[in-house]
Amino acid sequence: MFDGKFRQSVDARMAPVGRGLVRIGLSADVVTTSGLIFACATAFAIGAGFNWLAIVLLTLTGFHDLLDGAVAKASQRTSQRGSFFDSVSDRVGDAVLMGGVAYYLTAHHHGQLVLLPFGILATTFLISYERSKAESLGLAAKGGLMERAERLILLGIGLASYTIFIPVLWVMLGLTAMTAIGRFWRVWQVAARPAPAPVPAPRVRQHTRRLREGLSRASRH
């Protein structure tokens, strides 16, 4: 949901910060690793019930998501390896955060509520897989109500009060499920369209034209 103009505006504002970090010798991989460490610290704070500390750490975790791209662009070292590392780190961070939530629910609540964060995690991974698979097929699969930024924001809202924490988790589960279903439907619709006919290369078109002209002359003789 925050993709598009909003994301472009944020990237433009973060560009000077990225250049500054590059000047002091930081790389995008270092920023990504630091973000993963903060995600682990956030999960520990959530599990221990230190909600306000968790909100601060969660904010810093999300801030790293903005920084790694800015640093990569500023250093002009964007690579497939860096993109792969960033994506894998995001998924590990998601798993760790929901693990912290599950630990907290296990320690403070009874029943099957511990399954709630695992449901969120399953739909989160499905959203990520749908995009990866669609892009491997040459199809676009971005957007939706609950991408990573939105999930972090909503989790932070839930941590602000014990009263709303579990209801917010239910809302997060519903919205992530809607995002997964919506993304699947969009890709399904696009994939059902007939593939465009390949455009011949210039040399192929020229050769085809000459062949047709030759056949036409031969038929006249």
Torsion of CA 75, 78, 84, 89, to 10 degrees: 20
CA 179, CA 195: separation in Å to the nearest integer? 26
CA 64, CA 111: separation in Å to the nearest integer? 35
CA 202, CA 176: separation in Å to the nearest integer? 47
Residue that has been written with the tokens 């038929």 in this structure: 219
Residue that has been written with the tokens 């250049």 in this structure: 19
**Contact in structure between 63 and 148 (CB atoms under 8 Å):** no
Which member of 29, 86, 90, 94 is catalytic?
90
CA 32, CA 54: separation in Å to the nearest integer? 19
Name the token pair of 8.
């472009």
CA distances to 55, 56, 89, 207 from 63, in Å: 12, 11, 14, 56
Name the token pair of 17.
């910060």
Is 11 a residue of the active site? no
CA 221, CA 44: separation in Å to the nearest integer? 87
Distance from CA of residue 197 to its chain's centroid? 32
User: What are the residue numbers of the active site?
Assistant: 90
